[in-house]
Amino acid sequence: MVHKIKPIAIHLPQFHPTPENDEWWGKGFTEWTNVTKATPLFKDHYQPQLPSDLGFYDLRLEEARLAQEALAKEFGIHGFCYYHYWFNGKRILNEPVDRKLKNPKEDLPFMLCWANENWTRRWDGQDQEVLMQQNYSAQDDVAHLQHLIPYFKDQRYIKVNGKPVFVVYKPYLFPNPSETAKRWREVAAQHGLELYLCHTVFSYTKNWDKLIDGFDAAIDFEPFGIRRESVFKEINRIKRESFNTNFSNRVIRNIKRAIGLPTQSYDNLLNKLEYDFMTKNIKSLKEFNFKMYPNLVPGWDNSSRRKNNPSLLLNNSSPELFEKWLKLIVSDFEPYSEEENFLFINAWNEWAEGNHLEPCQKWGRSYLEKVKKVIDEKDYLN
């Protein structure tokens, strides 16, 4: 039996001021602060990437959240997967979801993904400086799950056969992820719930490219997914070829870069990869012996956060190439059951990573239109 695919857009709630960000980054800081300061690093580099239809919104406002939901519904997005931030009882960026929970007008289905990393200065590329640390314990596992029960019981929360879907971003950071999953299930059972637990998988994390015991399904986290060669391996291969072409020119370029002078070859030193690489040599989901939901990105360019040293820049992304990738996914993805039919899109609004379905000033609604077109065509064929 063929089942309808449900697109889930990953949602970043970093678009409102918080006391923590005021302290760390300056009064009034939001994701827009970095987005608007972005500058091109080479010819035809698409920066800054600025919003069109929804503008520079503040997610504390009901009007902004309702506008996001209306746009998502119009183009066939089934629901949002909100990043959830929990540090031993301390929460950050929780206002949008907390306010949604109290507002029945915000009826788009949703789920949560625990972004369980340390909070660092990665917003400006300084990952090594920890601002808030994750400390794991059995007691915290229990307290965390108890806190989540009201969200899980909400009628809008996305479920599989009545089981709320809860995603963990990096389970390999846990001391024992299977034990954590077991404790969570025990706490949920005390409240009359069963859980549907998912975690992401990454190509750059050794030995964590499989489903962990105690979890129901994995999510291939693009552009760092496990269905192709690592983007970083490909970038390093390209750099080696470029560096080996002419030693003298390489030395000159590096000197210019070090002292801040412009060089036509500077972009060869960036962690830059052509977007169309993402559609090449993709392994079928059927090659994996566990449930893994597919994922794709509209783009990726975090130079607005990391200035002239982006960790990854997918160059020349376009709605047409995005459509090509999406078609590859839906032609390969056979849902695991009537309700296990999620296709994750990373992301709805990661503006500082150049990674957004939300309309921008260059492409307008084109990416959303491609989602609706491909999913509607798939449904028609079924």
Count Cα neighbours of 239 within 13 Å in the Cβ-side half-sphere: 13
For helices 138-152 and 177-190, the axis angle rounded to 10 degrees is: 50
Q: Is the pTM of this model over 0.85?
A: yes
pLDDT at residue 280 tops 60: yes
For residues 87 and 262, which has the higher predicted lDDT (pLDDT)?
Answer: 87
Look at the alpha carbons of 221, 223, 120, 37 in this order and tell me if their dihedral is positive or negative: negative
> What ranges in the chain are assigned the alpha helix state H?
19-25, 31-35, 62-74, 95-101, 138-152, 177-190, 231-243, 247-259, 303-306, 319-332, 366-381
- The DSSP 8-state label assigned to residue 87 in this structure reads E
The pLDDT, as a whole number, for residue 206 is 75
Provide the token pair at 341.
């039919």
Instruction: Tell me the pairing of strands 272-274 and 300-301.
Output: unpaired
Domains and CATH numbers, the chain: 6-229+284-381 (3.20.20.80)
Q: Give me the amino acid identity at 378.
A: K
pLDDT tens sequence across 355-366: 999 999 999 999
Per-residue pLDDT band for 125 (boundaries 50, 70, 90) equals very low
Cβ(193)–Cβ(153) below 8 Å: yes
State how far the Cα of 232 lies from the Cα of 250, in Å rounded to an integer.
Answer: 21
